[in-house]
Amino acid sequence: MNLRNKALSATLLLLGLAGCITFSAYKTPKGAEKTIDQRVDSLLAKMTLQEKIGQMTLYTTDWGATGPTIREGYTNDIRSGACGALFNSHTVEFTRELQRVAVEETRLKIPLIFGYDVIHGYKTIFPIPLGEAAAWDLAAAEQSAHIAAVEAAASGLHWTFAPMVDICRDPRWGRVMEGAGEDTYLGCRLAEARVRGFQGKGLGNTDAVMACVKHYAAYGAPMGGRDYNTVEMSDRYFREFYLPPYAAAIKAGAATVMTSFNDFDGVPATGNKYLLNDILRDELGFKGFVVTDYTSINEMTSHGVVANEKEAGELALNAGVDMDMQGAVYQRFTAESLKEGKVSQKEIDTAVRRILRIKFELGLFEDPYKFCNAAREKRELLSKPHREAARDIARKSVVLLKNEREALPLSKDAKLAVIGPLADNTSDLIGPWSAAGSGDDCVSLLAGLKAQHKGKINYVKGCDVEGDDRSGFTAAFSAAQAADVVVVVVGERATMSGEATSKVDIGLPGVQSLLIEKLAATGKPVIVVLMNGRPLVIPEVDKNATAILEAWWLGTETGNALADVLYGSYNPSGKLPMSFPRSVGQIPVFYNEKSTGRPFDPNSKWTSKYIDSPNTPLYPFGYGLSFTTFQYGAPTVHKTRFRKREIVKVQVAVTNTGKVAGEEVVQLYVRDLVGSVTRPVKELKGFQKVMLQAGETRTLVFELGEEDLRFYRFDSTFGSEPGEFDVMVGGSSDEVQHIRISLD
Ligand code: GLC
C-alpha cells in the first residue's frame, strides 16, 4: 500500500475510532472483548461524583402525575448529568429526543433508561392484575405481560414498575386491584409468570422490558387498610405470608426492586437495612438495583426517623437504596454527606455499578436508540393479535358468582333490557394504572352485546355510579318489565381503586343496589355484571340478583369478552383470588386463617365468632361457578406415609356432569395438623386448570413433597416437621374433600 493510501487509511481509522469514542465511549473495540463489569469499571473511573449521583437519580417528566410532585426542567437535568433515568416518559418520539440530549449533549454520553407503570398493558389494556389472577392461568398472565412489554418496548420504554406482588387481605385498600389477592402460593406463581412475561428472553431484547418487583415490602398490609399506613407484623408472619412473592419474582430474574412507602417493624422500608440488605441481598441474592417509590426517601422525615432530607438520604443509601425516585435527595445532599463521611464512596460506586451494569445489559451503549423504532411502534400498539389476546384473557378473568333459574347463558334472540351506569361506559374499563391505554379504544358492554345480539336491546342508564338520584328508576323499571331478561351493569368508578383510594365503605356506591332491588321486583331474571377494582360488600345484590358476574376492570376488549361469556360462547372459569366479605366488620377475612383455641362451633357459645354475622365470607377464596357442573371423586394417594426425599402422588377424578364443556380450577390445599407453631387451617399448595367435555372424567395427579410442607418453625428455621397432614382437593377453598398423609 503506497504512502498516500496508508495516510488515508490511518486517517479513516482515527476518524473511525474517534467516531466510536464520540458515539459511544464504551463500545468494545473489536478483539478487545471486555466483560460488562470491566466496561462498567472503565466508565466509573471516568465519572465525577456529580455524574455518579446523577445516575442514582430518577425523575418524572410532566407527562403524568403518579405522585405529589412534578419537576420542571428535566431536559436540563439530563443535559447537566443530574439524572440518569426518567419515568412517565414514553413514545418513540419523546424518548428519542430525551435520549439524544443524554448521548449527544453530555460529557460522558451515558444513555438514559425510561420507566413507566405498565401494570396491565401499555396501549392494549388487559384485566387489572387482581382480575387476571381470577383466571388462575399462568400462561395467560405471562402472555399479557409479554404483550405489554412488546408494546412498551416499541414505544421507547426499557423498564416497567411491575409486577406489584403485595399480598393483601384487606379490600379497603384500593391497591388490591394491582396485585394477585390474598394467597401467597397463587401470588408467587403469578409473580414469576409476570416477570417472565416482561423480561422475556432477557434484557436488551426489544420485545422485553426490565421488571421492577414492588412494593418491597409488605405494603399490602397497612393498618386499617389505609394506604401508606403502618405495617406491623412478626418476622415469622412476614416470611410466611408476605415475603415469598417478592422472593419468587427475584428468583424469576427480576432486574429491579422498588421500596415501599410503609414502615416495617418501625423502620421505613426505604431506609430498612434488614429488608434491603440482610434479606434482599444476603438471603435472596438479588443482584439488580433498588429504586425507591415516589419521594419515599424524603418521606422518612414524616415517618420521624430522620430530622431532615439529608439524613434521609444517608439512611437510604446506607440501607441499600441505589436510585432515588423523584426526591432529588441524592442529587442535593449526597456529595455533602460523602464529605462528612456519613456515606462512603464505596456505597456510591456500588449503587452506580448496579445501574450502569443494567444499562450495558440493555445494549444502550451500543445503540441508545434501539428501543426507538417508529415503524415497530406503529405495528405493535393495539395490533389485532394483541386485542384478540386481551379479549381471551378478559373472558378467562370473569368469575360467575351466582346463576339461578339458568338465567345464563343468554339467548341472542331474547328481548334484552341493558341497564346501569357502566353498561355504555368505556372510560373506566381500563381501570387504574392503565399506562397509555385509552377508553376511546375500549368496547363497552352495550357495544359488545349489540355486536352479537339478534333480538331487541333496550338500554336505560337508570342511575349514576354515585349520588342518590333515582329519577332514572322509572324508565329502567319499564324497560325491565318489557324485556325477557335484564342485564344490570354496576360497580365502582375506576378512580375508586388504585393508589390512595382506601375506603371504609366497600358496598356498591350510590343507589345502584336499590336499582337492582327495584328491577328484581319485576320478577324478570336480573343478571348483575359487577365492574370494580376490589372485593365489594354486596349481600343485597346476592339476595336480589338472579345471576352475578364479577367482571373487575377487563380492559380494552371488555364488551366483546363479556358478551362471549353472557352468551355462553365462552363458559366462565374464573375463581376468586380474594375473599368477598359479608361486611366491612369482618375484615380481614381470608381462607387460610388459624384454627384458634376455640374454633367456631355452632353448638357452643364459647367459640370464636360474631354474634351478628357468620365467620365465613359471602364468597370465599377459590370460588367460582360454571355453566356446567363438576363432580369430584374422593382423593387418593399412592402412599399415606412418606419420608423427606419422597413424594406423595395425590389423585382425584373430576367429572363434568353438565351439558356443556367447561374449565375447572382444581385446587389442592394442605393443613399441617400439629406444628411447633400454629398453622393455617388450609394452605393452597397447587392447582390445575383443566378443560372437560360434557360427561368427561379426568384423573388429575398432584405431587406433594416435604418441601411443600416447610414453614418457619418455632426456632425460626425454615423446614418441615414430621407428623400428620390433611390434604384437601376441590373447586373452592370451602368445598374440598380430605385425605390424611404423614411425614416421617
Ligand atoms: C407511585 C406508586 C408506584 C409507582 C410510582 C411511579 O407512587 O406507589 O407503584 O410505580 O409511584 O409512578
Read off the pLDDT of residues 342-374 as tens digits, 9 standing for 90 and up.
Answer: 999 999 999 999 999 999 999 999 999 999 999
Q: Looking at 570, 586, 602, which one is the last position of a domain?
A: 586
Mean pLDDT of 411-434: 98
Whether residue 678 sits in one domain with residue 564: no
Of residues 9 and 417, more confidently modeled? 417
pLDDT of residue 23: 37
Give the nearest ligand 1 atom to 215 CA: 9
Kindly provide the b/e burial profile for residues 553-588, where b requires at least 16 CB atoms within 10 angstroms of the residue's own CB. bbbbbbbbbbbbbbbeebbbbbbbbbbbbbbbebbe
- CA 17 and chain centroid, separation: 46
Kindly tell me if the per-residue pLDDT of 86 is higher than 70.
Answer: yes
Q: State the sign of the Cα–Cα–Cα–Cα dihedral 159, 77, 377, 363.
A: negative
Span from the CA of 115 to the centroid of ligand 1 (angstroms): 11
Question: Is residue 432 situated within a structural domain?
Answer: yes
Span from the CA of 67 to the centroid of ligand 1 (angstroms): 7
pLDDT of residue 275: 98
Question: Is residue 349 situated within a structural domain?
Answer: no
Give the nearest ligand 1 atom to 117 CA: 10
Span from the CA of 225 to the centroid of ligand 1 (angstroms): 18
Q: Looking at 528, 556, 586, which one is the last position of a domain?
A: 586
Whether residue 705 sits in one domain with residue 557: no
Give the nearest ligand 1 atom to 66 CA: 12
Ligand 1 atom 10 nearest Cα: 161
Mean per-residue pLDDT of the chain: 95
CA 139, CA 596: separation in Å to the nearest integer?
A: 38
Rounded (5°) CA angle 364-369-373: 135
Read off the pLDDT of residues 629-658 as tens digits, 9 standing for 90 and up.
Answer: 999 999 999 999 999 999 999 999 999 999
Span from the CA of 294 to the centroid of ligand 1 (angstroms): 6
CA 575, CA 577: separation in Å to the nearest integer?
A: 6
Any residues with Cβ below 6 Å from ligand 1, and which?
Answer: 66-67, 87, 117, 161, 214, 293-294, 499
Q: How confident is the model at residue 690 (pLDDT cuts 50, 70, 90)?
A: very high
Q: How confident is the model at residue 167 (pLDDT cuts 50, 70, 90)?
A: very high
pLDDT of residue 4: 47
Burial class from Cβ neighbours inside 10 Å (0-12, 13-18, 19+) for residue 428 reads: buried
Question: Is residue 195 situated within a structural domain?
Answer: no
Whether residue 570 sits in one domain with residue 448: yes
Q: State the sign of the Cα–Cα–Cα–Cα dihedral 252, 255, 260, 265.
A: positive
Read off the pLDDT of residues 380-416 as tens digits, 9 standing for 90 and up.
Answer: 999 999 999 999 999 999 999 999 999 999 999 999 9
Q: Which three cell numbers stand for residue 702?
A: 398432584
Kindly tell me if the per-residue pLDDT of 43 is higher than 70.
Answer: yes
Whether residue 640 sits in one domain with residue 514: no
- CA 125 and chain centroid, separation: 13
Whether residue 641 sits in one domain with residue 736: yes
Whether residue 642 sits in one domain with residue 556: no
Domain with 705, as residue range(s), is 630-743
Mutate to test the pocket of ligand 1, among 69, 120, 161 (most ligand atoms within 8 A of CB): 161
Q: Which three cell numbers stand for residue 582?
A: 359479608
Say which DSSP state 717 is in.
-
Whether residue 544 sits in one domain with residue 413: yes
pLDDT of residue 548: 98
Provide the CATH number for the domain around residue 509: 3.40.50.1700
CA 575, CA 186: separation in Å to the nearest integer?
A: 12
Ligand 1 atom 12 nearest Cα: 66
Span from the CA of 438 to the centroid of ligand 1 (angstroms): 20
Whether residue 407 sits in one domain with residue 509: yes
Whether residue 563 sits in one domain with residue 414: yes
Residues 160/212, Cβ–Cβ less than 8 Å: yes
pLDDT of residue 21: 39
Question: Is residue 549 situated within a structural domain?
Answer: yes
Ligand 1 atom 11 nearest Cα: 294
Question: Is residue 424 situated within a structural domain?
Answer: yes
Q: Looking at 557, 586, 615, which one is the last position of a domain?
A: 586
Provide the CATH number for the domain around residue 676: 2.60.40.10
391: phi then psi, degrees, rounded to nearest 5: -65, -40
pLDDT of residue 460: 98
Read off the pLDDT of residues 273-284 as tens digits, 9 standing for 90 and up.
Answer: 999 999 999 999
Question: Is residue 576 situated within a structural domain?
Answer: yes
Say which DSSP state 71 is in.
-
Residues 42/25, Cβ–Cβ less than 8 Å: no
Give the nearest ligand 1 atom to 88 CA: 12
Question: Is residue 119 situated within a structural domain?
Answer: no
Whether residue 568 sits in one domain with residue 455: yes
Kindly tell me if the per-residue pLDDT of 18 is higher than 60.
Answer: no
Mutate to test the pocket of ligand 1, among 63, 87, 117, 325 (most ligand atoms within 8 A of CB): 117
Read off the pLDDT of residues 479-505 as tens digits, 9 standing for 90 and up.
Answer: 999 999 999 999 999 999 999 999 999
Question: Is residue 598 situated within a structural domain?
Answer: no
Whether residue 531 sits in one domain with residue 463: yes
Residues 168/181, Cβ–Cβ less than 8 Å: yes
CA 586, CA 599: separation in Å to the nearest integer?
A: 16
Biggest CA–CA distance in the chain, Å, is: 107
Among 738, 742, 710, 706, residue whose Cα is nearest residue 725? 742
Whether residue 641 sits in one domain with residue 500: no
The number of residues in the chain equals 744
Mutate to test the pocket of ligand 1, among 294, 295, 499 (most ligand atoms within 8 A of CB): 294
Give the nearest ligand 1 atom to 214 CA: 9
Which positions are catalytic?
293
619: phi then psi, degrees, rounded to nearest 5: -130, 130
Lowest average pLDDT, out of 58-62, 242-246, 331-335, goes to 58-62
Half-sphere exposure of 85 (CA within 13 A, CB side): 29
Per the structure, the count of domains in the chain is 2
Kindly tell me if the per-residue pLDDT of 294 is higher than 70.
Answer: yes
pLDDT of residue 11: 47
Span from the CA of 583 to the centroid of ligand 1 (angstroms): 30
